[in-house]
Chain A
Amino acid sequence: MTDLRATLSATPSATPSATPGASPGATGPAAEPSRAQGVTITGLAKAFGAQPVLRGVDIEIPRGSVTAVLGSSGSGKTTLLRMLAGFERPDAGTITIGGTPVNGPGRHVAPQDRHVGYVPQEGCLFPHLDVAGNVGFGLPRARRKDRVPEMLELTGLSELADRYPHQLSGGQQQRVALARALAPDPALLLLDEPFSSLDAFLRTSVRLEVLRVLRKAGTTTVIVTHDQDEALSSADQVAVLRHGQVAHAAPPLELYTHPADAALARFVGDANLLPGTVRGGRAETALGALPLADGAPVFAEGEPVLVLLRPEQLVLLSADAAGSVPGTVTQRDFHGHDTVLTVDTPASGALTVRCAGAADLAPGTPVAIRATGPVTGWAQPA
């Protein structure tokens, strides 16, 4: 049963850099010393009662990288994190951290023996200890004197050493939690929705600050989040978790431009999906013939495909420009730095178009749209 799940999980992936043939047990940590220092998750499965939460998850996390696990609520991402930390036992599968197997058949290393740092969603600072006490909590007494000021310095908290958690702002609490987790120099750092409890204004600055600290410390990190923007902007690798399986794991740019399927394309950003036909290396669509990108799957001549056009790949033109299709603006969402327009076209229905700055186009304005390639796509069942 378990093996079957593990095999099923080897999701077809169009990405060259994705885990090559991730069959469980095929590649031992000893076989690839360079990877051995990172984290390897193979065939991880977990059910709560009759309800499966993870159905065979495989992720390879290179050493020193930041990997975001992205998923909607109920996708099993928190369970995955808790198993990495050792709070939950997997039903099947193996986890290897820094070359040491911590979960496997008949093996479960206790949380306190894993050297895994953990920053929970709400920070969870010890309310009875001040900032210095929190940061030094996981250190042997002798090391606190040197290490605590060092960590406070790194996270910019030196001035707050003797404050108590209730005297700190949300962003400061998050940084203390980070310093506390980093202090024992963990082999792996886990962040559970670290920025979701912060308001929008703080979120970006705290995120940048946390990433700066992480890069400086060079710690292998897993961030669990449901926020696509956050995952794409923070991570070296994004693993999208869907129904308890990894739907796609890739660097952010690749995930955005070449998602493994159409549903994934919608999940990691706004997407226009157009039906088309492949002719001579180009996809012929209602918006014209578009060149297929290098990373796109290989299609047969005349094969029906579904093509992905991101809103910024659509350009607004004056009404009768060559190679454009006419349409009418039906909705305008002004964001300041850009404007997202919904344009109704006779050729291809409603399309989402993003243009930089403030586009002064009220609903009802006639416009023309041209698509710019290259594009990716997926074979469409006839």
Chain B
Amino acid sequence: MNWRNETVLVTGATGFIGGRVCERLMQAGVPKVRALVHSMHKASRIARVPVELCPGNLMEPETLQQAIGNAKIVIHCGLGDAGSIVRGTRNMLAVALAAGVKRFVHVSTAAVYGITPPPGSENETAVIRATGDPYCDNKAAAERVVLGYGKRGLPVTILRPSIVWGPYSAWSTRLVDDLRGGRVSFVDGGRGACNTTYVDNLIDAMFLSLENDRALNETFFITDGERITWGDFIRAHTAMMNPEPQVSNVSHEEIQATQEKTSGMLLSSVKATARVARSKEFRQILMKIPATEAMLTGAWNRINSLSPENRERLRARFGVQRVAVAAAPGRNGKHIPDPVTVATQSTTVFFSIEKARRVLGYEPRIKFGEGIVLVEQWLRYAAYLD
């Protein structure tokens, strides 16, 4: 199939990944790109590209029918929240199947194995187990729904990127903000596996899966294929800044000791949760979810069900030390990261892209060093760096 001649529907088009997908599709010469847009006011980035902005919501199938038009390819970057990850994906799959879509690329995440994936999850054959984290577990459930539609005849491919970074990514913008605010530490020397996936490399994999029949009903880890640690990632950002921020090391022992001493942590977590739940931004996010569990007790789960990037957004918005889970100052003024950051940066697993290389012919074209140069150029342009 020559996908370059097809109309493509992109969900999550106002997001970081979806926005770049729209740009790349246009650069690839695709005749028509339809962009599913839930919040029109967030569409400034893609509105400058000649894509068709299609108002719609993954939770409202009739809007998806309108949005799909004559698209024969769907690139599903849309996410939503805990309740909508699975239902929204199912809605999109059903509409795609009915519309005779020729390829459905589902953007999943390596976090189906958890925020700290267990050793042994390096390859796609590893068994997925419930993690207790709503985001991870719902993304895993969504994968099962996608494969179910694959069995029903919808040509599907699942891609599992990890830390998707690049221009416009909150991994870089928040990191720069946090570095400036002295809110970054190297967890255990920064040795944790970062599993970077430069956004253009991910999109390469999407495009490869569109033109390769061997990709059908298959699942692939997609990373930059380099053993980049969190220390590497953080240091690459401090090097962009002037003056260069100093980042201290915190050991797991220090983290544990501080957390045990923080007896008021539960109280402050509840306070932070309540504060977030009362906020306008959180209410807007809540509005995307069926109002079945709108009480405060549900807020904790909702926050934890957000993607890591959205958690970052909320945290930055409210100035709490991680939403709902407070970080604490440690001894000697060291910043002790919150449990989610600790978990994220304690990964020991480097995901293998051997299958993507073998089956898709995937080869990461943007190396980490090149990506950092591009990110730095963008951060300066976007006024995150002086």
Do A and B pair up? The answer is: no
Q: Chain B: residues with CB nearer than 8 A to chain A?
A: none
Q: Chain A: residues with CB nearer than 8 A to chain B?
A: none
